[in-house]
Amino acid sequence: MKNKVDYLIVGQGLAGTFLAFQLMQRGKTVLIVDKGLTYSSSRVAAGVINPIVLRRFTITWRAKEFLSYNPDFYHALDQFLGKQYHFDIPLKKLISSQDEMDFWEHRYAKDGVSDFIHRELTDASDAIQPAEPLKIGLVKQASWLNISALLFDFRKKMISTNSLLEDIFDFSELKENSYKNCEFNNIVFCEGAQGKYNPLFKDLPFSLNKGQLITIKNTSLPADSILKKKVFILPTEENLFKIGATYSWKWDTSSEEAAHKIEADKTTLLKSHLEDMTTADYELVNVETGIRPSIKDRRPVIGRHSTRRNTFIFNGMGTRGCFMAPLLTEEFIEHIENDKPLDSEVNINRF
């Protein structure tokens, strides 16, 4: 383990990983402490990157900025790890009623949505084996991040350079400029949902959200696009597809195991949404749950501790970490290193 670093980072989910990567790109030294929680949000996340809310056809917050920043960022990360993790992939919205067709046309003409969807609807291909007659609406600029593989490989690389300590962060060992045997200039907490219990950043209005998704095996569904109706069908590996995800605001929080328990009714719901899209045969191969680190106002929470000048939080990525975190990481580093103001919507000062 390194004994002197510029940055100590607690948590190696997507937030901690992107932060460590960008800091190292700037020549900073880092040590990550991460206990490798199996149920961290990032390990479970599907990695779909989509600039549009497909229920209401609204453009997501700062979509254009994130879309223009992400390709170079993900390319640099691919280069660093020597493998491709980020892929452009068509996202196809399945449309089954005249009302939905009219809504597509109506929204196309409004609020700049035409930058993000194609106007023309096409017929669904036979490969989808639609459960009912379908039209397809195409979303522009969607992509997929193979996030679990990315985190796994990044972790391996950090361990190999003594830059990741696999442990639970012990707050009783934290001093002003050191943790155990390691001195640091700055410490950043990227703990995802566990941030809710961080004694240094108490009372932040976390509004955690539990998600469940299933993985199915199928040999006929299209492997070259993401399909979306009430849920998405995302091709991940050969003949494997992730179907998800659910959103729950209430669950048993009495223990870690209880919180992450697989809920049978959610599995049934996901299967029924899947069967609403396609009549293709499938085998259920896996069910996963994770807790999304969301904040009440649906914006990340980023910034400096009120009294500890070298202590920061980078959290609250909610449902869209893969989309927002790359640029937010750069803005956060600019804030710490060069005093650039943070976007007021993410700044911890708003609380």
Ligand X SMILES: Cc1cc2nc3c(=O)[nH]c(=O)nc-3n(C[C@H](O)[C@H](O)[C@H](O)COP(=O)(O)OP(=O)(O)OC[C@H]3O[C@@H](n4cnc5c(N)ncnc54)[C@H](O)[C@@H]3O)c2cc1C
Point out which residues bind ligand X (CB under 6 A).
Answer: 10-16, 33-37, 40-42, 44-48, 168-169, 190-194, 211, 213, 244-245, 290, 292-293, 315, 317-323
Least distance to ligand X, CB of residue 99, Å: 27
Our CA angle for 91, 94, 96, nearest 5°, is 165
Give the dihedral sign, CA 71/76/77/81. positive
- We find the least distance from the C-beta atom of residue 58 to ligand X, in angstroms, to be 17
In the bound state with ligand X, the residue whose beta carbon lies nearer, of 130 and 158, is 158
Rg of the chain over Cα atoms, rounded to whole angstroms, equals 21
Spatial contact of 346 and 301, defined as CB atoms under 8 Å apart: yes
Q: For residue 91, what are the β-bridge partners?
A: 139, 226
Minimum CB separation of residue 119 from ligand X in Å reads 26
Which is closer to ligand X, CB of 32 or CB of 136?
Answer: 32
In sequence order, what DSSP letters do the residues of 42-56 get, joined into one string? Answer: HHH---EE-SEETTT
- Cross-strand partners of 312: 188, 304
Q: How far is the CB of 309 from ligand X (least distance, A)?
A: 22
Largest CA distance in the chain: 65
Q: Which is nearer to ligand X, 135 or 151 (CB)?
A: 151
Q: Strand pairing of 86-88 and 143-145?
A: antiparallel
**Residue 200, both tokens:** 């240094």
Query: With respect to ligand X, which residue has the nearer C-beta, 130 or 214?
Result: 214
The residue among 130 and 193 lying less far from ligand X, judged by its C-beta, is 193
Question: In angstroms, what is the minimal distance from the CB of 185 to ligand X?
Answer: 20
Nearer to ligand X, 15 or 336 (CB): 15
- Residue type for 103, please? F
- What is the C-alpha separation between 90 and 348, in angstroms, rounded? 36
Cβ closest to ligand X, residue 117 vs residue 288: 288
Residue owning tokens 């009912």: 132
What is the nearest approach in angstroms of ligand X to the Cβ of residue 323?
5
User: With respect to ligand X, which residue has the nearer C-beta, 135 or 304?
Assistant: 304
* Continuous segment of H or E residues that includes residue 158: helix 147-160
Min dist. Cβ of residue 156 to ligand X (A): 14
Q: Which helix (DSSP H) or strand (DSSP E) does residue 63 occupy?
A: helix 63-81
- Nearest approach in angstroms of CB 76 to ligand X is 18
Sign of dihedral through CA atoms 325, 329, 332, 338?
negative
Cα 351 from Cα 347, distance rounded (Å): 8
Residue carrying structure tokens 């679990």: 148
